Amino acid sequence: MSDLLISEHLGFRTLHFGSEWVQGRMRISRPDELALGYAQDMCAALLFVPPPKQVYVAGLGVGSLPRWALANWSDSLKRLDIVELRDDVISLTHSAFPLPQDDSRVRITQGDAAKVITERPASSFDWIWVDCYDGRGRVGALESAEFYAEAHRVLRKNGVFVANMWSSVSRYRGGLRRLRAVFGVDNIVLLPAIATENVTVIASKSPLPALDARALQARARALRADYKLPFERWLKALAPVATAL
């Protein structure tokens, strides 16, 4: 019996993996919208880098981030390399949470994202998105030192690694320490969600600017106008990784 459960309520379609935890949510009338706050937070790296050309996505889920990227980065985006462990999730997404059909920029691979990334060339991605949890909140090798090292290897000079992590689990600080060992303590910032334990972790291959820089504040205002997302609030909420260790 499948553990994939779909519910619909007040115009939203939600996916669960056999538990009460929400795996993803889509507004049926506006599928390109990011319906969950933490998913919106995973766009905050735009404060530091321009819209990407090449993106590696670890975990498909309901396809929220890929749909948003295709809708909002149409001028820059050349490839979305999506890796999903479960073939039943890929099939379900095609039927219930579809991505645009026949878009040559989209490549979906069934496999372990921590292994597939080792097959990708060095310096080939501008952006890596990681949002992979099973029904028990486990992520496996996607919080390992080996995966972080591979992510660093495949990122271009100014590339960013953006991951959804949970601050309430015991492995949280260990994951941050492993990430710090690869990217460096000064190249990682944290964005805690408002109402949940989710933390968006942004790790840059190049040094990040000072969070109080005037130019960054101006960029946040411009991004809010362009994307209708709370970049100014995010900038105020961002904290160096050292504050959590």
Return the CATH number at 74. 3.40.50.150
| Residue 30: CB atoms within 10 Å | 12
Map tokens 């000072």 to a residue: 210
Report how far apart the first and last C-alpha atoms of the chain are (Å, whole number): 41
Query: Over the range 43-82, which residues count as b (16 or more CB within 10 Å of their CB) and which as e?
Result: bbbbbbbebbebbbbbbbbbbbbbbbbbebbeeebebbbb
Decide if 97 is inside a domain.
yes
Residue 214 within a domain = yes
Length of the chain: 245
Closest listed residue to residue 188, CA positions, set 177, 172, 174? 177
In a domain, 232, yes or no: yes
Alpha-carbon dihedral angle through residues 127, 133, 134, 138, given to the nearest 10 degrees: 120
Q: Is residue 9 part of a domain?
A: no
Please indicate, yes or no, if residue 95 is contained in any of the structural domains: yes
The total of structural domains in the chain comes to: 1
pLDDT one digit per residue (tens) for the chain, 245 residues:
578 999 999 999 999 887 777 889 999 999 999 999 999 999 999 999 999 999 999 999 999 999 999 999 999 999 999 999 999 999 999 999 999 888 999 999 999 999 999 999 999 999 999 998 765 556 778 999 999 999 999 999 999 999 999 888 889 999 999 999 999 999 999 999 988 889 999 999 999 999 999 999 999 999 999 999 999 999 999 999 988 87
25 located within any domain: no
**Among 203, 174, 177, 172, residue whose Cα is nearest residue 190:** 203
Range of the domain at 117: 32-244
Is there a domain that residue 22 lies in? no
